[in-house]
Amino acid sequence: MLVILFVSNYSPFRSWKWYYYSSADGHFTFGEFPAKGRDLDLMERHWAHYRLEQQPVDTNIYRNFAINPLKFWLWKDYLFHDRYRYPYKAWPDSL
């Protein structure tokens, strides 16, 4: 049991997950994949560039992935990682 907990918390495969973000209207989307260098900083740079070019009405970015409180091994990330500071909005229907 301890090995499973250790592997689930400290495995390098934890970063092999996609995290999706979008604007409220769905015109801006970004997929974060930390294992390949598509990190949160890159998303924020793309969002800043999009805002300069498009001048959107809603200037918020939303995460399209929910928090699952049953996954206790992710509680530390839920509390301290910046990706969870964005408000949650279900994936836009227009995509």
Name 76's Cβ contacts closer than 8 Å, sequence gap at least 6: none
9 is a domain residue:
no
6 is a domain residue:
no
Higher pLDDT residue, 25 or 95? 25
pLDDT in tens, 1-29: 777 666 656 555 566 789 999 998 889 99
Closest by alpha carbon to 63, among 27, 23, 25?
Answer: 23
User: For the chain, what is the domain count?
Assistant: 1
Q: Return the exposure string of 60-74: e unless at least 16 CB atoms fall within 10 Å of the residue's CB, then b.
A: ebbbbbeeeeeeeeb
78 is a domain residue:
yes
Which structural domain range is residue 53 located in? 15-85
20 is a domain residue:
yes
Position 95 confidence tier, pLDDT thresholds 50, 70, 90: very low
60 is a domain residue:
yes
Whether the model clears a pTM of 0.85, i.e. scores above it, the answer is no
CB atoms within 10 A of CB 19: 20
CB atoms within 10 A of CB 47: 18
pLDDT in tens, 50-83: 999 998 888 899 999 999 999 888 999 999 999 9
> Which pLDDT does position 47 carry in this prediction?
95
